[in-house]
A = this chain, B = another copy of it.
Amino acid sequence: MGVVIPIEGRSDPEASLADLVALVSGGMERVNATILSRTGSDVAMIPEVANHLIASGGKRLRPILTLATADLCGYAAGEGAVKLAASVEFMHTATLLHDDVVDESDMRRGRVAARIKWGNEASVLVGDFLLGQAFRMMVEVGSLRALDILSAAATVIAEGEVMQLTAAKNTETSEDEYLAVIRSKTAELFAAACEVGPVLAERPRAEQAACRSYGMNLGIAFQLIDDVLDYGGTSASLGKNVGDDFREGKITLPIVLSFRRGSDEERAFWRRTLEKGELEEGDLDRALAILRRHRALEDTVERARHYGAMARDALALFPNGRMKSALLQVVDFCIARAH
């Protein structure tokens, strides 16, 4: 059920990430050790819940980006970047825990969601604990500017999630409105993760802004591809069933495009399934057929490519080198996932 789209560069998506992973592997070992030690608590349930999610291992793209941009800007390897990278991952994990409660999800990263195993209350509270720990680590680093960036991001992320609540189930959401949501709820943390690198390295504002812009646009591309994957990926490789967004009534860009391009009958279909949540046998197949008819998945990938190009251009002012080249490849990685 994959959407096959010609992609520039390498054809194996994992390969595009390999260079970057190798370049920051030393730092990431320390980040992982920090994550492990900072989820420790005398209250046994906290490391249990936190590690259920953390150990299920996403790619840790966000902390990798913090280490990479710090290195790109010549930050002398110290504890600062490691702690900020761990903080970024904690903020992300806290968001996932709180999201599960909000979405009433049963699965997360291919495992049963923490809220199913330990209850909503544990997800809310362990999320709060991780947020608190994230801020403690930032304080230890001692950069008020980095604290400013990451605390602002925490606010913006929550704002984006609330925005999504409001937009949720509204099939008339416009592309711009949808972009505003994903900028806040996803891309802002990518942007902040990348911006604190040059901040730690005490580089000029222009470089801070460049890294921020790289992260922001990469984050938008990343989320758009995620939206596509939800309708086109395979369950085995994603730990997520095709059509989860559909079943939850989530309005994502493929839907926004299809709704606008669709017939009255198709719009009635989207309203029934997404707004009213009245699902019948065969509805997912019909949804996929409508998305195909309007090339909605392909065009969402095209949009992602546009933001990917902006992310690449944002790095133009940095001299060429292995780290810059690895960061450019990450853009390919994000988009190639749509395969």
Contacts and interface: CB of A to CB of B under 8 A. Distances in A.
Contact of A102 (B121, B138, B158, B163): B121
A120 interface: yes
Interface in A21-50: 41-46
Interface string A228-243: 0000000000000000
Contacts of A278: none
Contacts of A156: 132
Number of identical monomers bound together in the oligomeric complex: 2
Interface string A124-139: 1110110111011011
Contacts of A79: none
A122 B45 contact: no
B102 A124 contact: yes
A136 B151 contact: yes
A161 interface: yes
Chain A interface size band reads: 35 or more
Interface SS majority for chain A:
helix
Contact of A45 (B103, B119, B162): B162
A251 B132 CA distance: 26
Given A162-B45, A165-B45, A135 B121 contact: no
A112 interface: no
B125 A161 contact: yes
User: Which of A101, A155, A166 is most buried by chain B, counting CB atoms within 10 A of its CB?
Assistant: A155
B41 A126 contact: no
Contact of A98 (B124, B139, B166): B124
Contact of A128 (B41, B43, B46, B158): B158
A103 B120 CA distance: 10
Nearest to A42: B159
Contacts of A131: 128, 131, 154, 158
A202 B160 CA distance: 38
A147 B132 CA distance: 11
A166 B125 CA distance: 12
A159 B98 CA distance: 16
A106 to B, nearest CB: 16
A157 B42 CA distance: 13
A47 to B, nearest CB: 11
A45 B166 contact: yes
Contacts of A161: 125, 128
A149 B217 CA distance: 35
Contact of A147 (B103, B124, B125, B135): B135
15 contacts: A43-B159, A45-B162, A46-B159, A46-B162, A101-B121, A101-B124, A102-B120, A125-B162, A125-B165, A128-B161, A129-B158, A131-B131, A133-B155, A142-B144, A144-B144
Interface of A: 41-46, 98, 101-103, 119-122, 124-126, 128-129, 131-133, 135-136, 138-139, 142, 144, 147-148, 151-159, 161-163, 165-166
Given A122-B162, A125-B161, A132-B157, 16 more contacts: A43-B163, A43-B166, A45-B165, A45-B166, A103-B121, A121-B165, A122-B165, A125-B158, A126-B162, A128-B158, A129-B162, A131-B154, A132-B154, A136-B148, A138-B151, A139-B148
